[in-house]
Structure 1
């Protein structure tokens, strides 16, 4: 089917949230395709390129992110078409349906949800682990948060003239470093290597509190995505048919 919405996530858990949101919104799932990159920028590019060649009209980057702006807390939501690369240069993409997104934000606030943040998001080919590195990147780029897919997807959207936006909720905030045991926690298929991560942490038990906190933060981020996505995916679906 042509004129569909392509959604690129880094993790299987994010893809599952997207599928649940599509069902909640009563949207035709045939008009949406979901790809999981395994938190690898190169794979995100490959998936986005394939979907663009198959006839996608809209490309979305959806999932959790690491906070760079100190004011952002776990579960805070960012919706943006403004993506920067490491170094600060912006990717010029077609934002398209910004007015409809503004209406959706207003309606969600009327329903009791917090407003999302609109501002730049940083795409990185590598994991940003330390609080010091997050602070440096925030100072250099002004980006609100960082993920490993948005720049890759935005680059394909820009090259193909497709509409793009990122929907990212914050997991780890700017002042919280990722524990070393979590650095290899994502498998190439986007699943979480729970046993491997726990075995790594067992050799350094001091990491366990940070791992537990990361799990809570990620849960808050996925929960926020779950509540926000039905409205946002409806906007993207309508835009793909215009």
Structure 2
């Protein structure tokens, strides 16, 4: 049986998959925004759950002006921290492009950068974009790429952009993701109460996140089903 393994960073990304979570052709793991945990999950999906392909799925940050919140990015390659370039599997391309065309969605085919920690400010994002030539960054795709290459199975990354390159992560939002991928709401509220100057940045972050998750929902409804039972 062909089974797609999906690695997400947070539970909200997993939840966006909706009814697909009940499909026997799909298995999901949530890393809690930890690259090391994402690598472990990718291996578990293959070795324990029999997944025959891997997908890094969720929201990402833009690291150039080429992407805006709400854009949907399909990885051409993952640029690892040491500069290694891992090409994604071309077998996914016609399936996703055909599904996108039928749904009226535009896929931005770009390189994505791997990060082991949060890239929180505009200066750091732009520096990463210049160094890697990538346009988006997340903390799971590198782990998925590494394990898929090691195991010799197809993989790709499908990500919705939630924050523009000019949007810095407010201090109040740092550390908001728990190890299980849940959002620590009370921790964030407490930090915001101690740093009210972060409120405008938090509002921008929430607005971008809303656009990103709206697009991620379209991915779950219109794109991910095209991969089930095929690869």
TM-score interval (norm. to shorter)? over 0.9
* Counterpart position of 1:106: 101
| Comparing 226-235 and 44-53, the one that deviates more | 226-235
Whether the aligned pair in 1 keeps the contact of 2:92 and 2:156 (CA below 8 Å) is no
| Comparing 78-87 and 49-58, the one that deviates more | 78-87
Shift in CA distance, 81/29, structure 1 to aligned 2, threshold 3 Å: farther
| Comparing 156-165 and 81-90, the one that deviates more | 81-90
Shift in CA distance, 171/119, structure 1 to aligned 2, threshold 3 Å: same
Instruction: State the Cα deviation string for residues 162-183 of structure 1 (Å, max 9, x = none).
Output: 1111111111110110001111
> Structure 2: 5+ residue runs without aligned partners?
none
TM-fit CA distance, 1:81:
4.5
* Counterpart position of 2:89: 94
The equivalent position to 1:31 in structure 2, one of 25, 32, 51, is 25
The equivalent position to 1:68 in structure 2, one of 63, 67, 70, is 63
Instruction: State the Cα deviation string for residues 108-135 of structure 1 (Å, max 9, x = none).
Output: 22xxx3x110010111100000100111
TM-fit CA distance, 1:144:
1.2
* Counterpart position of 1:191: 182
Paired residue secondary structure (1:168)? strand
* Counterpart position of 1:221: 212
State how many pairs are aligned.
Answer: 230
Paired residue secondary structure (1:117)? strand
TM-fit CA distance, 1:234:
1.9
Give the CA RMSD over aligned residues. 1.5
Instruction: State the Cα deviation string for residues 42-67 of structure 1 (Å, max 9, x = none).
Output: 00000100111131111011001111
Whether the aligned pair in 2 keeps the contact of 1:76 and 1:224 (CA below 8 Å) is yes
Paired residue secondary structure (1:192)? coil
Paired residue secondary structure (2:157)? strand
* Counterpart position of 1:233: 224
The equivalent position to 1:163 in structure 2, one of 147, 151, 154, is 154
Instruction: State the Cα deviation string for residues 177-226 of structure 1 (Å, max 9, x = none).
Output: 00011110000010001111111111111001111221121111011010
Q: Aligned partners of 2:228, 2:9: CA distance in 1, in Å?
A: 21
Paired residue secondary structure (2:109)? coil
Whether the aligned pair in 1 keeps the contact of 2:31 and 2:38 (CA below 8 Å) is yes
Whether the aligned pair in 1 keeps the contact of 2:2 and 2:228 (CA below 8 Å) is no
* Counterpart position of 1:46: 40
Whether the aligned pair in 2 keeps the contact of 1:93 and 1:161 (CA below 8 Å) is no
**TM-score, L = length of structure 2:** 0.94
**TM-score, L = length of structure 1:** 0.90
Paired residue secondary structure (1:39)? coil
Paired residue secondary structure (2:24)? helix
Whether the aligned pair in 1 keeps the contact of 2:25 and 2:229 (CA below 8 Å) is no
- Matching of residue 206 in structure 1 with residue 190 in structure 2: no
TM-fit CA distance, 1:101:
2.1
Whether the aligned pair in 2 keeps the contact of 1:84 and 1:141 (CA below 8 Å) is yes
TM-fit CA distance, 1:92:
4.0
